[in-house]
Amino acid sequence: MYRIVEKKTLSESVKLMKIHAPLIASKAQPGQFIILRIDEKGERIPLTIADYDKREGTVTIIFLEVGKTTKQLGGLKEGDSLLNFVGPLGVPSEIKKYGNVICIGGGVGIAPLYPIVKALKKEGNYVITILGAKTEKLLILEKEIGEYSDELYITTDDGSKGHKGFVTDILKELLEKRNKEINMVMAIGPIIMMKKTSDLTRGYNIKTLVSLNPIMIDGTGMCGGCRVVVDNEVKFACVDGPEFDGHKVDYENLMLRNRRFIHEEEEACRLKGVTP
């Protein structure tokens, strides 16, 4: 059993949990994820590792309460335990000295961006970070990521903090002025955000990585539930990713797959008595 040693509410619907999982914490690296199951009747869901502490033996997850399982997970308290907590899974981020990098996080995608920003900075890169949220109240980890960023830009859809608009507005301005200085772009967030980021950087031929977290079930490449099309080839996000070349991802196919079980999710929420 994997005990919840700490729980925080980061915003109205975003929760942080530290899970006691020493073996996973000892091997975790930026960019990897875990798959958890709350109880014997629960579904398996993937969550990217937001942080880890090898000394304390804890793994931090941050999640948005959006469906049946995440709402159930958000209802657990410190001291409660999870039945299954498997990982670390996926290929770790390629952390090296690129030079000048732009890291972009949107919504709850900011959480998995944090360990990557931290690792890239420790490797000696000049890190420019752009964080975006619908509103200031939904913005997470600004202070933590800011500590490892040489430049930090904030955007909100409603203008409640920073630039009123989208992360791609800031990215476009930076690329127009400084594209020759940028060596790599990393983007994690909504699929449409990663698509638009990749569209912008493609014109400048800047290496762009995106982290894909579609439907995963077993996390070992056996079920095929997390198929993604990259450079016209079928890949599995759980074993080949979750990071891929943003210029080669078939985003249209990914968006269709991501919405595939929306009606089933609504029905599961209804049966559980929660609002979808």
Could you give all domains of the chain from N- to C-terminal order, each with its CATH number? 2-89 (2.40.30.10), 100-258 (3.40.50.80)
In angstroms, what CA-CA distances link 138 with 15, 94, 114, 160?
A: 11, 29, 16, 10
In angstroms, what CA-CA distances link 175 with 52, 167, 179, 186?
A: 33, 12, 4, 14
Contact status, residue 191 vs residue 237, Cβ threshold 8 Å: no
Distance CA 14, CA 60 (A): 13
Number of helices (H) and strands (E), helices first, in the chain? 9, 16
Question: Tens place of pLDDT for every residue, the chain, 276 residues?
Answer: 899 999 999 887 899 999 999 999 999 999 999 999 999 988 888 999 999 999 999 999 999 888 888 999 999 999 999 999 999 999 999 999 999 999 999 998 999 999 999 999 999 999 999 999 999 999 999 999 999 999 999 999 999 999 999 999 999 999 999 989 999 999 999 999 999 999 999 999 999 999 987 667 777 778 777 888 999 999 988 889 899 999 999 998 888 866 555 555 555 555 555 555
Q: Which of 131, 202, 136 is nearest to 169 (CA)?
A: 131
Per-residue pLDDT tens over the stretch 93-123: 999 999 999 999 999 899 999 999 999 999 9
Distance CA 247, CA 72 (A): 36
Contact status, residue 139 vs residue 112, Cβ threshold 8 Å: no
pTM: 0.87
Distance CA 51, CA 202 (A): 30
CB atoms within 10 A of CB 242: 27
CB atoms within 10 A of CB 260: 12
pLDDT attached to residue 224: 79
Residue 194 amino acid letter: M
